[in-house]
Amino acid sequence: MTCSPESCCDFAGSYDLSKLPEIKRLEQLALGCDYGGTSWTTREQVDEIVESLQLGSGSQLLDIGAGAGWPGLLLGKLSNCNVTLLDIPLNALSQAAERALSDGMQARVSIVSGSGTAIPFGDRSFDRITHSDVLCCLPEKLEMLKESRRVARNSARMHFSVILPAQGLSAEQQQKVFETGPPFIGLDGNYSVMLQDSGWKVFNCRDVTSEYRDSLQRLVDGTHEYEKELVELLGEEELLSKRAHREDQIQLIDSGCMRREAYVAIAN
């Protein structure tokens, strides 16, 4: 969230930064949490995920692209479900392991390195799946949705958020969205059709663009409030470049070019 993985796809580098106290303070301001999150899922949205997934103590939840454990670990803590965190960067997963330990959740948490496009679990292993802004960070969107369906039991529920370009953009607007948004924000077609094509039925789709915009604004405001210490940490040039990047994203939202959506889908 705070360290622009979008611009370079360097997720491992972004997790090295996101664990630092100065960056966690920004995360707290922007999202209301301190897990080292890199998506735009807020603390309030986690309550909505618990409800929409109907999570409970018997649920087997898979968080794909789980990073440092956000939001999977909090979902597990709030609902007492069993949680499997799947992602690729080992530094993120080891932060997640430390957090699971310090929250006393190690008995209910499994942490696995692997790709959401080749999930290292057998068919029908999970009854709940979540992913936060992951589909806009990888090109193989349909493959990941198909893989998530393969490991989902019939009638399993999946919640995910995704950042996407608005419909009907000019070539120039599209170019700006591709340059400024998450690394693989572009898609052929739309997510509702991809869900259908991968064996999921859309239960609900909510526009969460305004919450995303508010988080970005709180983040930008935080970079002003804590400018001195952030300059010490990152250097002035880097801080200004990161802030400008977030301001560009706010502009794209305000001009109606970029959106964030939250889906709930049920396995057919």
Ligand X SMILES: C[S@@+](CC[C@H](N)C(=O)[O-])C[C@H]1O[C@@H](n2cnc3c(N)ncnc32)[C@H](O)[C@@H]1O
Q: Which residues bind ligand X (CB under 6 A)?
A: 11, 37-39, 41, 64-67, 70, 87-89, 92, 115-117, 132-134, 137-138
Give the C-alpha distances (Å, rounded to integers) separating 134 from 146, 194, 219: 14, 15, 20
CA distance linking residue 128 with residue 239, whole number of Å? 38
- Decide whether 64 or 262 has the Cβ nearer to ligand X: 64
- Dist CA 14 CA 133 (whole Å): 15
Closest to ligand X by CB, 49 or 138: 138
| Cβ 92 to ligand X shortest distance, Å | 6
At closest approach, how far in Å is the CB of 191 from ligand X? 16
With respect to ligand X, which residue has the nearer C-beta, 88 or 250? Answer: 88
d(CA 265, CA 70): 20
Q: Please state the closest distance from residue 169 (CB atom) to ligand X, in A.
A: 22
Shortest distance, position 172 Cβ to ligand X, whole Å: 26
Q: Kindly give the pairing relationship between strand 60-64 and strand 152-165.
A: unpaired
Task: Identify which of residues 15 and 200 has a Cβ nearer to ligand X in the complex.
Answer: 15
For helices 209-225 and 21-31, the axis angle rounded to 10 degrees is: 140
